[in-house]
Structure 1
Amino acid sequence: MRDTHQSLADQISGIFALLVLGVGLTALFLGYSWFWMVFVLGFAVALPIVAILSESLFGRESESEWREDESKSEQVDEQQDALDTLRERYARGEIDETEFERRVDLLLENETVADVKARRGREQKRETERERERN
């Protein structure tokens, strides 16, 4: 998935490289004898400078920041899937309105579906312990 993600610094460098190529080829086709200097100076001097400046000005997203963004989007997807499942079960009549609302509240107050499952497991464990105490 990293291949589809391009930072602004990468785009600026690519645009500048195309500009150097265009100017150099235009100079070649127009018959200027110094066309080769456009390529040498453009790619060997100016492009690295543009890349360094764009990186320092705009900054690159570190891989850890990118992974955090990706994991947040996965969490949102999981939460949306869980909400969709709850809606379907409520629509089919498998759960009543109060149970539906309780589960939606649990989902919304937790970050991930795994948090909900862990909390549900703790609640079931407490209920089991209470039943043992009663007996």
Structure 2
Amino acid sequence: MANTHQSLDEQIPGIVALLVLGAGLTALFLGYSWFWMVFVLGFAVVLPIVAILSQVVFGGEDESEWRADEMETGQVDEQQDALDTLRDRYARGDIDEAEFERRVDLLLENETIEDVEARKERRTERERELN
């Protein structure tokens, strides 16, 4: 599942942009003739510097976070590949609707493809024990 929360280094430039906008509009409404300089300096100089400094200070994503995101994306891709394979087999008539739905449910209720494979292996072992 994708992380929907922004880190602090992603939030700081947005906060600075709102502050520049607020300062510029305040200067405009108060009748200062130099209000436009707030926008120019704020958006052309201050905001880029703050964005760069926030990346340098906070260091962006940690390598472990990057690897976790990469692994999660890989798992999502594997699950999507498995769903595509099931759809193809159902469309060709290799499996019936009940089997298709059962396999999709199994696939979606598990977090990873490995969970599905482990469950299948356990089921096979149980069937061997019964025979």
CA offset at residue 113 of structure 1? 1.3
Structure 2 spans left out of the alignment, 5+ residues: 1-8, 14-48
Is 2:113 aligned against 1:113? Answer: yes
* 1:87 match: secondary structure: helix
Aligned-residue identity in percent: 64
The 5-angstrom pairing of residues 1-135 of structure 1 reads 51=53, 54-55=54-55, 60-131=60-131
Structure 1 spans left out of the alignment, 5+ residues: 1-7, 13-46
Alpha-carbon deviations, 1:84-131, whole Å to 9, x = none? 000000011100111111110111011111211111011111111112
* 2:95 match: secondary structure: coil
Flag as ranges the 4+ runs of structure 1 deviating above 2 A: 55-60
Instruction: Give the structure 2 partner of residue 38 of structure 1.
Output: none
Root-mean-square deviation (CA), in Å?
2.6
Alpha-carbon deviations, 1:48-102, whole Å to 9, x = none? xx63xx1477552111111111110000000000000000000111001111111
The TM-score normalised by the length of structure 1 is 0.55
Larger Rg: 1
Q: Name the count of aligned residue pairs.
A: 85
